[in-house]
Amino acid sequence: MAASSTQLSNPSDLNYSSKTIKRAERALCCTSFKLSLFVAMRTNSVPLSKIARSAGVKERYTQKFLSEQKTERDLMWLITVGILRREVDGQGITDSFRLTPLGRKVIATWESQGRQLSQPSWWDSIVNNLTRWFQLLLF
């Protein structure tokens, strides 16, 4: 029997491979963002202007001051990994971001375990950077 659309909207109902989950967790840890940003994105879209520059530090969304360009690059990488999506309104794509079902699943798991975004290991940083670099070569 097929699942209804309301059942599919629950991120825990979607099955992701352990490789996909690990890649998503690695990508999240390798950014300069804080868990509070992704918690906010779970229920609301968050515009780039609230994440970049001093606004991101003030909102407790970033660990440090990030340029708008760096912020957007990192957000776009999280879109590529499948954690985020751009918000769309009646006129098209906006500058706001929101969690995908994969992102909601990872964040919900971390919250239930009382985890925060941790510093990535040197190996996770290398793997994440190489994956990003190869992704750029492909497109």
Q: Name the nearest CA neighbour of 37 among 24, 47, 23.
A: 47
What tokens were used for 88? 């769309």
Q: What is the pLDDT of residues 48-64, one digit of tens each?
A: 999 999 999 999 999 89
Q: What is the pLDDT of residues 93-122, one digit of tens each?
A: 789 999 999 999 999 988 887 777 767 788
pLDDT of residue 133: 83
pLDDT band at residue 92 under the 50/70/90 scheme: confident
Average pLDDT over residues 81-102: 91
Q: What is the pLDDT of residues 67-80, one digit of tens each?
A: 999 999 999 999 99
Q: What angle is formed at CA 95 by the lines to CA 128 and CA 51, rounded to 5 degrees?
A: 60
What tokens were used for 21? 């989950």
Domains of the chain, earliest start first: 17-109+116-138 (1.10.10.10)
* 33 three-class SS: strand
Phi, psi of 16 (to 5 degrees): -120, 145
Residues near 92 by beta carbon (within 8 Å), at least 6 away in sequence = none
Q: What is the pLDDT of residues 5-52, one digit of tens each?
A: 444 455 556 789 999 999 999 999 898 899 999 999 999 999 999 999
What tokens were used for 102? 């994969």
pLDDT of residue 139: 61
**Computed over its alpha carbons, how large is the radius of gyration of the chain?**
15
Distance CA 64, CA 137 (A): 29
pLDDT of residue 3: 43
Using the predicted structure, report yes or no on whether residue 1 has a pLDDT greater than 70: no
Distance CA 135, CA 128 (A): 10
